[in-house]
Amino acid sequence: MQTPVMDDGLKSRDATPSHWTVLSLIEWSTQYLTERRFDEARLHVELLLARVLKLNRLNLYLQFDRPLTSEELASFKQMFKRRLAHEPLQYILGDTSFMGLSLKIDRRALVPRPETEILVEQALQLLRASDAAEPRVLDIGSGSGNISLAIAHHVPRCRVDSLDVSDEAIDLSRENQTALGIHNVVFLRADIFGDLPPAGTYDLIVSNPPYVSLEEFTLLEPEVRDYEPRLAVTDEADGLRFLKQIGRTAMKVIAPGGTLMVEIAYNQEEAARRIFAESGWRIDDVTKDFAGHPRIVIARPAIPEPESVT
Ligand code: GLN
C-alpha cells in the first residue's frame, strides 16, 4: 500500500500507529476495488472499516483524520483480501439485516436478498388481515431462517413451520432463532422431493426456492457461484423443478382459502403461470421487484368453475 503523510500527533496510542488514516485508507481501497470492477466499492470499504473500528458507518465521517493502529490495519487488510477474492460482503461481516432483523450469516446459507423482502411484505399484509386466531405458515427452504423469522417476528400470533434439506442451514437458522428469541417457528430438516410436509394445513405457504437454471448458474458472478451454497441457488436443471414440486406439495397442505407465495427468476413468469395452473392454482398476482421484473407469484387454489345452468 502507498504511504500517505503520517499524522505525528498520535504517538500516544497504545498500538503502534500505522501510516493510514480513515480517509486515506477508504480512498485507496475504494480505488483499488473500482479499478478491478467491483460494484459499490466505497460502500463496502466503509462497511468493512466501520466494523474493524466498531463504529457505525456514518461515524467514520466524523473521524476521517483518525490514524489506524497497526492492529486495526491488519484486521482491515484481512477482510479486504476476502472481498478482493469476491467473497460476499455479508459473509465477511458475518451478519446482515433482513426486514429489520439482524441475522447471522455465513456460507451455510444463501445471503438474504432485498427482493425477498417484497415476498415477506406481501406475506405480512396477508397475515395481518387474516381472521385466523393463529395463522399457520409453511416456509419451503429456510436458508438462514430469514423469511420464517421475519414473518414470525412481525406477526407474533402466527405459527411457522420451516423446512430445509440442508443440516447446515437448519443449524444456522436455529442459531438465528435463539439469538432473536423468536419462539413461534419450528425449523425442520426435510426434502420436499421425498419427505411429506408436516401434518395439517397452512393458511400461507411461502418459498424462495433455488430457481436459477444450470445454464444461468455458470454465468453468475463469482460472489454467488463460488461462495453461496450451490443447492440454495440452482436446481441443476431448467430452474423450474422446485416450482413444479412446490405447486404439487403445497396443493396437498394448503388450507381452504389459503395462499401460496413463491419467488421466481426475472424470466420465469410465463413458465410459473403455466406450472402453477397445472397443479390447480389460480394466480392472483405477480409482484414486480425494484427493477420492474416479475418476482413474486401469489396464488390460491383454483375454485372449479360452476356448472353452467342451461
Ligand atoms: N429462505 C432463504 C432466502 O430466501 C433461503 C432460500 C434458498 O436457500 N433458496 O434467502
The CA distances from residue 273 to 29, 207, 309, in Å, are 46, 16, 29
**Which residues have CB under 6 Å of ligand 1?**
110, 112, 116, 141-143, 146-147, 208-210, 232
Write down the pLDDT at residue 306. Answer: 65
pLDDT over 90, % of the chain = 89
Q: Give the residue, by CA position, lying nearest to ligand 1 atom 5.
A: 143
Q: Supply the DSSP string of 128-164, one letter for each residue.
A: HH---SS-EEEEE--TTSHHHHHHHHHSTT-EEEEEE
Q: Is the pLDDT of residue 3 over 50?
A: no
Angstrom distance (rounded) from CA 173 to CA 295: 24
Q: Which pLDDT does position 15 carry in this prediction?
A: 63
pLDDT tens digit sequence for 116-165: 999 999 999 999 999 999 999 999 999 999 999 999 999 999 999 999 99
Give the integer Cα–Cα distance in Å for 185 and 138.
10
- Asked if pLDDT for residue 13 goes beyond 90, the answer is no
Ligand 1 atom with the smallest distance to the CA of 263 is 4
Q: Return mean pLDDT, the chain.
A: 93
Residue 253 has pLDDT above 90, yes or no: yes
Read off the pLDDT of residues 80-115 as tens digits, 9 standing for 90 and up: 999 999 999 999 999 999 999 999 999 999 999 999
The number of the ligand 1 atom at minimal distance from the alpha carbon of 148 is 1
- Listed in sequence order, the residues at least 6 apart from 103 whose beta carbon sits closer than 8 Å to its beta carbon are 95, 96, 97, 112, 144, 145, 146, 149, 176
* β-strand pairing of 101-104 with 95-98: antiparallel
Output the CA 116–ligand 1 centroid distance in Å: 8
Q: Are 207 and 262 in contact (CB under 8 A)?
A: yes
pLDDT band at 18 (very low <50, low <70, confident <90, very high): confident
pLDDT at 12 over 80: no
pLDDT at position 119, please? 98
Ligand 1 atom with the shortest distance to the CA of 209: 9
Closest CA to 82 of 119, 54, 44: 44
Q: What is the pTM of this model?
A: 0.91
pLDDT at residue number 51: 97
- Rounded Cα gap, residues 215 and 55, in angstroms: 42
Residue 96's pLDDT is 98
Residue nearest to atom 10 of ligand 1 (CA): 112
> For residue 41, how far is its CA from the centre of ligand 1 (angstroms)?
26
pLDDT band at 8 (very low <50, low <70, confident <90, very high): very low
Does residue 14 have a pLDDT over 70? no
Residue nearest atom 4 of ligand 1, based on CA coordinates: 208
Instruction: Give the pLDDT confidence score for residue 2 in this predicted structure.
Output: 44
Residue 147 to residue 64: CA distance in whole angstroms:
38
Closest atom of ligand 1 relative to the 113 alpha carbon: 10
Residue 1's pLDDT band (cuts 50, 70, 90): very low
73 Cα–ligand 1 center, Å: 34
How big is the chain, counted in residues? 310
Counting from 1 in the atom list of ligand 1, the atom nearest the Cα of 207 is 1
CA distance 242 to 247: 8
- The residue nearest atom 7 of ligand 1, judged by CA position, is 232
Q: What is the pLDDT of residues 159-210, one digit of tens each?
A: 999 999 999 999 999 999 999 999 999 999 999 999 888 888 999 999 999 9
